Structures are given as structure tokens and as C-alpha cells.
Amino acid sequence: QVQLVESGGGLVKPGGSLRLSCAASGFTFSDYYMSWIRQAPGRGLEWVSYISSSSSYTIYADSVKGRFTISRDNAKKSLYLQMNSLRAEDTAVYYCARDFGCSSTTCYIPKWFDPWGQGTLVTVSS
Amino acid sequence: DIQMTQSPSSLSASVGDRVTITCQASQDISNYLNWYQQKPGKAPKLLIYDASNLETGVPSRFSGSGSGTDFAFTISSLQPEDIATYYCQQYDNLPITFGGGTKVEIK
């Protein structure tokens, strides 16, 4: 079945770095745009970043621009999020999600997300 | 950024009740509006896309309506398994944004 599994979360000190991974299975990963979305403890959802199927197009939320980098390896069916200069406000569960609404070869904005992974918790604290 | 305002923030209803959640956008977003269900400790799940289209496999008691700035999400007959937080999400403009969520509980 279609599945996304995140890994790489953990406890990191402010200013530190972490790399999240998302392993995809059950669908042709290289056909789909992907996103990272986060949820601070007890809070709502915040979209973080988006990458095209070929990696040629990436966009970020202003809150992470210049600090986070999204990438993918289609051969490994994997999505990544490199997070640098981490802050306490980056503490959240990070979800990867497939953009199931992008049916053309070019999409400039994420549409709808299906499925989502189970999430990985990132805690930024000294 | 487009602000998405959901109401109520929480509600309590009985099994079999009709439940309606509203989502208001700060500007016209056409029908670029989706609804998700998040059960405790789980990832969100897509229920409705483009305001009124039911995702495959989602029970027909769930429905969505609206366009422009005002949208509604309805559960026609609340079931115990519908206990969750529901979120709306717009994709008319970057950054895409979510509503604050509506927590649905059983009375």
C-alpha cells in the first residue's frame, strides 16, 4: 500500500542541525511533488517546504527560508529535509506528504496532501 | 498570507447528530479548499478536496460545500470513530495555510 515513513527526528540544541528522511513505498515516487508539514505540540499545522518531482523547483515557508533545505533522491524513493540553525520554535512533529493534487508536469503550489507519513518529532532545547 | 478561520474551535455532539464546521478565508480562494481529519496521535488524513469532492474511500456521511471565502464541512450522522480534530487548508496562494482546527467530541 501507499506509505511514507519519516525518520531522523530527535533532541538537538539551539543552533544545531538535523536531517530528516522520508521513505516512500507503494507508488511511483518520481511522479509526485512532495512536501514537509509540521505541527508544534498541541498546535495546528504549518506547511514548511515543497519540491517538484525532478527537484528543479523548491519553495519554503518564510519561517524556515535560508535555514532548511528540501531534497529528494528518486532512485532511493526518499525525501529529505536538512534543518540548520535550529530554534526552539522549530520544535514540532514533522510530516512528509505527497501532493496528490498535482496532476500536471508543473505545479507551482502544493494542492492537497495524501497520504501523510506518521511523523517524526524534532525537539530543539538546551 | 491568507488567514483561515475555523469555527467552532471545539464542539460536543451526540452519536447520530449532524455536525457542521465552518472555515472562512481572509480573501477569495475560489474552491481551493481541502478538509483533513486528524485522530489523536495520528497523521492527518485527506477527506475532501476542492471544497466538495470526497476523497476515494471516505464515508459518504462527510461532505463539503462553499466557494469564495465561506466554506462548510458536515458530518451528516456523527459516529464514535469520527472523534478527531478537523482542519481546513487553502491552496489559492502561497504560503498554503491551514485553519486552526475544530476538535469534535462525543457528548
Instruction: Give Cα A51 to chain centroid, integer Å.
Output: 9
Chain B residue numbers with beta carbons less than 8 Å from the beta carbon of A115 are: 43, 45-46
Which pLDDT tens digit goes with each residue over B7-51?
999 999 999 999 999 999 999 999 999 999 999 999 999 999 999
**Is the predicted pLDDT of residue A59 greater than 70, yes or no?**
yes
Candidates B14, B50, B96; CA nearest to A46 is: B96
Asked whether the beta carbons of residue A112 and residue B46 sit closer than 8 angstroms, the reply is yes
Which pLDDT tens digit goes with each residue over A68-113?
999 999 999 999 999 999 999 999 999 999 998 887 678 899 999 9
Asked whether the beta carbons of residue B96 and residue A47 sit closer than 8 angstroms, the reply is yes
Rounded to whole angstroms, the Cα distance separating A50 from A60 reads 7
Give the mutation candidate from B36, B91, B98 for the A interface (greatest A CB count, under 10 A).
B91
Radius of gyration in angstroms for the set of CA atoms belonging to chain B, rounded to a whole number: 13
What pLDDT was estimated at residue A104? 65
Burial class (CB within 10 angstroms; exposed 0-12, middle 13-18, buried 19+) of A48: buried
Average pLDDT over residues B78-98: 97
Burial class (CB within 10 angstroms; exposed 0-12, middle 13-18, buried 19+) of B102: buried
A47, three cell numbers: 506547511
